[in-house]
Chain A
Amino acid sequence: MRTREDRIFQTIGHIVMIILSLFALLPMILLFMSSITDDGALVRNGYSFFPEKFSLYAYEYVFKTGNAVPHAYYISVVLTVVGVTLALVVTTLIAYGLSRPGLPGRGLITFYVFFTMLFNGGLVPTYINYTNVFQIKNSFAAILIPGLVTNGFYIMLMKSYFTASVPDEILEAAKIDGAGEWQTLLRIALPLAKPIVTTIGLFAGIGYWNDWQNGYIYLTKRTDLYSIQNLLNRMIQNIQYLSQNTKLANADVGLSAIPTVSIRMSMAVLGILPIVIIYPFIQKNFIKGITLGGVKG
């Protein structure tokens, strides 16, 4: 029993959403089409949705000019795997601990976590602290540690999940059966907290994969620690970066042969690719996570 107004609403709704979906996707399509267009055609027509002449030379060039791209990929993957592991271990432990009722000093420690959400020293003191006190400039720690391991938001989110969804009675029962705190956490609380662990893992994973600022700020010499984001960032500033900083694997590929126009786009496609491939698999969990985080309780 659908009224005429319903039908009109459905039609307009679908049209609006199709337009918005196109808006969301078209830039990525332009990027991809440009990356498989012949450089000469790009110079003649500019970046275009409909290549005049196809060419995969830009990709060939990227992989022929040494191993900068595969290496940056490798750094990004290692960084993300190590980062997510570290983030989950640190966040889960403190969140579970703070959810234990009766813990002496719980209120005080919770405030210690919470205060970091209200007040922030900002870039200058943070930079001086990490460079002068910890001297992490030009090390792997520089892209792993600053700002990304955990934060008040992750901890509070996980803590309230433990409090709300892991009944204290079950934990107490486990203790009576002789399980210690660690066993209770691993065997009982963690399996019940899977959704929030997945969510924080995803947030942290996207944070690490997409981060470029730590590398930009702290890696002044060790360009071998550049993640794919840092490499892309350098490439957009300096198109010659790739050929200047790698030994040419193939002598035929000289500076003059740089497909300067298409290469930017092929690099960016390589940067986006992993996200687009993983996206369908993580999307559902990610949406659930946003709901958990956006609306407390």
Chain B
Amino acid sequence: MKSSANSFSKGKVRFRKYLPVYLMILPGVIYLFINNYMPLPGLVLAFKSYNAKKGIYKSAWVGLKNFKYLFATKDAFVITRNTLLYNLAFIIVNTVLAIAVAIILSELTGKAKNFYQSAILLPYMISMVIVSYLVFAFLSAENGFFNRTILRLMGKEAIFWYQEKKYWPYIIIFVNSWKVIGYNCIIYLSTILGIDRNYYEAAAIDGAGKMKQITSITLPLLKPTVVMMTFLAIGRIFYSDFSLFYQVPMNSGPLFPVTNTIDTYVYRGLLELGDIALSAAAGFYQSVVGFVLVVISNLLLRKLDPENALF
């Protein structure tokens, strides 16, 4: 009895000692509770018929009906396909380009390389609303640079870019790369700059040229970073940048077959179409599959590269 009372008061002393630290932690804990934890019970809406008057808890249960409706539509397939395929394209295109740019930047001499790096990073800083203006300046049917200058010089008919879905997979991939290459390349560049210069000097003495040095020193040593970045991206493959897919195509209906992703679908269902049941079902689907994917990709990453796994 005595010892337990003793440890109890020890605990009390310890708690009092750390009281200021708990106070420091409190605002962050409260914010995450409001922003991330309180919404979680709302996920049950996917299994209910939402009635705004009754609220989440009193709305009637409908079992899997919302999911049956969702997966009976073509939308479920289209939004899943678009989300996955765009992310795969982003992973491949951005990784290849970012590594190429990082290698070039690391080898270049002269002051201009600081300018190059600043120039390609600038798009990352710009909001997607402004990006949509930039794209509009090129693609506007009446006044766009493509229709009025380039296609005219080539003697071709004007194209109604915002109506023609066949161009948009390329436009989306281009805009995404344009925006993020500068950012991704910095991560690879910092890995390259961390490589011991002695390797290169030894290789040069042995007669290896620039290309040989890149393929046998730089690329193999970049592999862990590539693996880490790729697995982190795979963990997020069920999520898309809402701004990119909603704002840049200007929410144009004819383009939905190639621009609708899970995130834009959930948004439109909730706030434009008022179809909360389908929206909630799609959101639940994204949360659960997204969670499974992030856990699996990190378990795999932990095997390959334990230092950089999230857990």
Asked if A28 lies at the interface with its beta carbon under 8 angstroms from chain B, I say yes
Q: Identify which of A5, A103, A119, A155 contacts B21 (C-beta below 8 A).
A: A103
The answer to whether A126 touches B39 (Cβ under 8 A) is: yes
The answer to whether A97 touches B36 (Cβ under 8 A) is: no
The answer to whether B209 touches A5 (Cβ under 8 A) is: yes
Asked if B168 lies at the interface with its beta carbon under 8 angstroms from chain A, I say no
Total count of chain B residues near the partner, CB < 8 A:
104
Q: Which residue among A13, A25, A212, A283 has the maximum number of chain B CB atoms within 10 Å of its CB? A: A13
Asked if A257 lies at the interface with its beta carbon under 8 angstroms from chain B, I say no
B132-144: CB near A (< 8 Å → 1, else 0) gives 1111111010111
User: With A24-B182, A296-B308 as given contacts, are A290 and B24 in contact (CB-CB < 8 Å)?
Assistant: no
Asked if A287 lies at the interface with its beta carbon under 8 angstroms from chain B, I say yes
Tell me the complex Cα distance, A122–B44, Å: 12
**A209-250 CB contacts (< 8 Å) to partner B:** 209-213, 217, 229, 232-233, 236-237
Set of chain B residues within 8 Å of A119, measured between Cβ atoms: 40, 287, 291
In the complex, how many angstroms separate the beta carbon of B26 from the nearest chain A beta carbon? 8
In the complex, how many angstroms separate the beta carbon of A250 from the nearest chain B beta carbon? 26
The answer to whether B104 touches A16 (Cβ under 8 A) is: yes
Partner-contacting stretch, out of A59-67, A77-85, A190-198, A265-273 = A265-273
The answer to whether B125 touches A206 (Cβ under 8 A) is: yes
Name B's interface SS: helix
The answer to whether B145 touches A97 (Cβ under 8 A) is: no
Chain B residues with a Cβ under 8 A of chain A:
11, 14-15, 18, 20-22, 24-25, 27-29, 31-32, 34-43, 45, 55-56, 101, 104-105, 107-110, 112-113, 115-123, 125-130, 132-138, 140, 142-145, 147-149, 178, 181-183, 186-187, 190-191, 209-211, 225, 228-229, 242-243, 247, 250, 263, 266-267, 270-271, 276, 279-280, 283-284, 286-287, 290-291, 294-295, 307-308, 310-311
The answer to whether A25 touches B20 (Cβ under 8 A) is: no
In the complex, how many angstroms separate the beta carbon of B176 from the nearest chain A beta carbon? 14
The answer to whether A90 touches B294 (Cβ under 8 A) is: no
User: With A27-B137, A210-B127, A229-B127 as given contacts, are A149 and B35 in contact (CB-CB < 8 Å)?
Assistant: yes
Asked if A10 lies at the interface with its beta carbon under 8 angstroms from chain B, I say yes
**A1-55 CB contacts (< 8 Å) to partner B:** 3, 5-6, 9-10, 13-14, 16-18, 20-21, 23-25, 27-28, 30-31, 34, 42-43, 45-49
Asked if A74 lies at the interface with its beta carbon under 8 angstroms from chain B, I say no
Tell me the complex Cα distance, A280–B115, Å: 10
Tell me the complex Cα distance, A238–B280, Å: 30
Total count of chain A residues near the partner, CB < 8 A:
104
A–B Cβ pairs within 8 angstroms, 16 of them: A10-B107, A28-B134, A30-B134, A48-B148, A90-B27, A90-B28, A96-B24, A120-B36, A120-B290, A124-B276, A149-B31, A185-B24, A212-B128, A272-B130, A279-B125, A290-B186
In the complex, how many angstroms separate the beta carbon of A135 from the nearest chain B beta carbon? 13
Q: Which residue among B18, B43, B117, B228 has the maximum number of chain A CB atoms within 10 Å of its CB? A: B18
The answer to whether B39 touches A125 (Cβ under 8 A) is: yes
Chain A residues with a Cβ under 8 A of chain B:
3, 5-6, 9-10, 13-14, 16-18, 20-21, 23-25, 27-28, 30-31, 34, 42-43, 45-49, 89-91, 93-98, 100, 102-104, 109, 112-114, 116-129, 132-134, 145-147, 149-150, 152, 155, 180-182, 185, 206, 209-213, 217, 229, 232-233, 236-237, 261, 264-265, 267-268, 271-272, 275-276, 279-280, 283, 286-287, 290-291, 294-297
Name A's interface SS: helix
The answer to whether B270 touches A123 (Cβ under 8 A) is: yes
The answer to whether B108 touches A129 (Cβ under 8 A) is: no
Q: Identify which of B116, B182, B250 contacts A236 (C-beta below 8 A).
A: B250
